[in-house]
Amino acid sequence: EKLKAASAAIFTFVVVSLPFMLVNPYTYISTFTHVGSRGPWETVWALIDGYFSHGGLLHPYFDKFFYHSNVLKIYNANRYDHAVYQWNFDWMPLFLTTCQVVFVILVSLVYVKRKWDIYGFCGTLYIAYALFFKGYSTQFAVSTPFYLLLAAINNPLPFLASLELSHLLQMFAWGSTIIAPEFLRDWHFHLLVSAILIRTGVFGCLLFNRLRGGLTQVKGEIKFLVGRFWGYIRLFLDKKLLLLLSVTLFMGFLSLGMLLLNVENNLSFKSFSGQMTVSLDKWENITMVGLSKGDQVLVKLNTNAWIDVDLVSGNLKTPIERGVRNPFHLKGSFNETLIFFRADSESYTMMFRLAHSKIPFRVTDGLDGDLEVHAILNSSALVFKLHDRGLDGKCSLFRIAYPLNVYAFGDFSLNLRYKIVEGKVLNVFLEVFDDIDEWIYAFKTSENFTLTTNSKDLYGYSNLEGDHISLVALSILIEDNTSAVIKLEELSVKSGSKTYNLDLYAERSSKVSYEIFIERDWVPSVHYNLTLIIFLVFCIVAFCYLHRKIKVVLSRDGLNINCYLGCK
């Protein structure tokens, strides 16, 4: 009966998967492999690996448009992109998967003779899986208590209370701006770690409690299964069944081989790279030919400058999408801009031009609206000429960012000197991204401003002591249909005995390296579809024959219950 159930589960999975494998197998497979490349989050395994953020934000732009096998070619794995994550400990994913399999089997063996406790089995099975799962999100709090209630039905209160405490701490860690604006941000890391440790302790204690005393039964079940192993072998020694299974496996591997061959030979994916010089004065062109309608095209520009891009086919201008890999804190993507479009024609010309002089900062806001920006170098100062054209009836925000790598201890200071030369500026803010608190803090500035660990942010809190700052940004707000001129004279950081002064410059041209990735939707061939259909046909025949064989064996051994009741 167990063999029949297992074969039925496999057969169901194959039949349900067939339509997706016929239409677009790479999209279907990507739904599974994408989860495999994700990193850990908000678990003890994430803490061990050194990842202290969550799993819902850091995904590469435009990854949803490409097959996952090609996403891994476009985006190099790193520590900042959770969707294409680089583990500190390469052995950990295999270790966690192995533990999940082992403990799921252990739980199944412990409950094999407890058919009356099916609810406890379901709950414990979930806990065993969740304990060794690499991630845990706050929304899991909706279902996890119910599974825990099933697993600890006789004494659930201690476990439920502890789990709820961990969920509250986890929500406070991420949602403190709703509960108490910025007051709890300085406790973010402590709250998150406490929540993780409490939850892990609850899962571990409950699993140990449910498995305790069941090891003797597990040994007996293993001996029983080993004893029955020869019976299973005899069942599969049937020549017809062996032939059916052999043909089924052969056709399945043949279909899989066609898919792997396409990936290895890049038959539906190609890329090329080069270098160009972009400037304020003229457009630089790149021509792409040989495209097909529906092709996904991603252009990766390795520069921190904002580049105007026009895409033309014939006399028609085609819309594009612009993105940054990590727009929140720019980690790993300060010098990277992504341009994406879908092809509707066989050839395109992409035209590039600097939107402003190349400066040491990255412009993150202001150039996608009605704000005009001109940057020039005046002596050693960087001068920004801003003009809101008054087209949208809104104020304009101009924001520039620069990456840092500094810890804010007692003598830390960040010095900002600027001067408003002309016009009216509504506000000038200095923002810093705090890695420990996972938050961007904003400070209102003056023309000679020094940021220290005791500086109060916009909400009146001081949250930087002992934290790691990885980004600094300057935001300038001007009124609609007005102009302003601001001279940035100094941005320097002092930490301990080290002082870093940012070199200010403004260049009218820049050399930019680029990579272009083109993916064409894979159209299954007749051979592939035929092979897959033959695989399914033989799978159905093998499944039916196996069930018939099992029924015959049970009847022969006198274990067929229906036959037994009929004799009675």
Q: What is the pLDDT of residue 557?
A: 56
Beta-strand relationship, 439-444 and 509-519: unpaired
Q: What is the pLDDT of residue 562?
A: 45
72-100 burial code (b ≥16 CB/10 A, e <16): bebbeebbbbbbbbebeeeebbeebeeeb
Q: What is the pLDDT of residue 567?
A: 44
* DSSP string covering 449-513: EEEETT---TTS----TTEEEEEEEEEEEE-TT-EEEEEEEEEEEEETTEEEEPPP--BSEEEEE
For residues 336 and 322, what is the distance between their CA atoms, to the nearest angstrom? 11
pLDDT (tens digit, 0 to 9) for every residue of the chain, 568 residues total? Answer: 666 777 788 888 888 888 888 888 888 888 888 888 888 999 999 999 998 888 765 566 777 788 888 888 888 888 887 888 899 998 999 999 999 999 988 888 887 777 777 888 899 999 999 999 999 988 898 999 999 999 888 888 999 999 999 999 988 888 755 666 566 778 888 889 999 999 999 999 999 888 876 666 666 667 666 666 666 677 667 788 888 888 988 998 999 888 888 888 777 899 999 999 999 989 999 999 989 988 999 999 999 999 999 999 888 888 999 888 887 888 888 999 999 999 999 999 999 999 999 999 999 998 888 899 999 998 889 999 999 998 888 899 999 999 999 998 888 999 999 999 999 899 999 999 988 888 889 999 999 999 999 898 888 888 888 889 999 999 999 999 999 999 999 999 998 778 889 999 999 999 999 999 999 988 888 898 899 899 888 888 888 887 777 776 666 655 444 443 344 4
The strand order across the sheet containing 337-342 reads 269-279, 509-519, 296-302, 337-342, 321-323
For residues 169 and 165, what is the distance between their CA atoms, to the nearest angstrom? 6
Q: What is the pLDDT of residue 78?
A: 84
Q: What is the pLDDT of residue 36?
A: 82
pTM (two decimals): 0.82
Q: Which amino acid type is present at position 505? A: Y
Task: Enter the CATH code of domain 269-358+511-519.
Answer: 2.60.120.380
The strand order across the sheet containing 348-354 reads 284-288, 348-354, 307-313, 316-318
> Any idea of the CA torsion for 196, 201, 203, 209, to the nearest 10 degrees?
180
Domain topology for 362-504: Jelly Rolls (2.60.120)
One fold for 269-358+511-519 and 362-504? yes
Q: What is the pLDDT of residue 563?
A: 43
The residue ranges of every structural domain in the chain are 1-19+243-259+523-568, 20-234, 269-358+511-519, 362-504
Q: Which amino acid type is present at position 345? A: S
Tokens describing residue 103? 């403990």
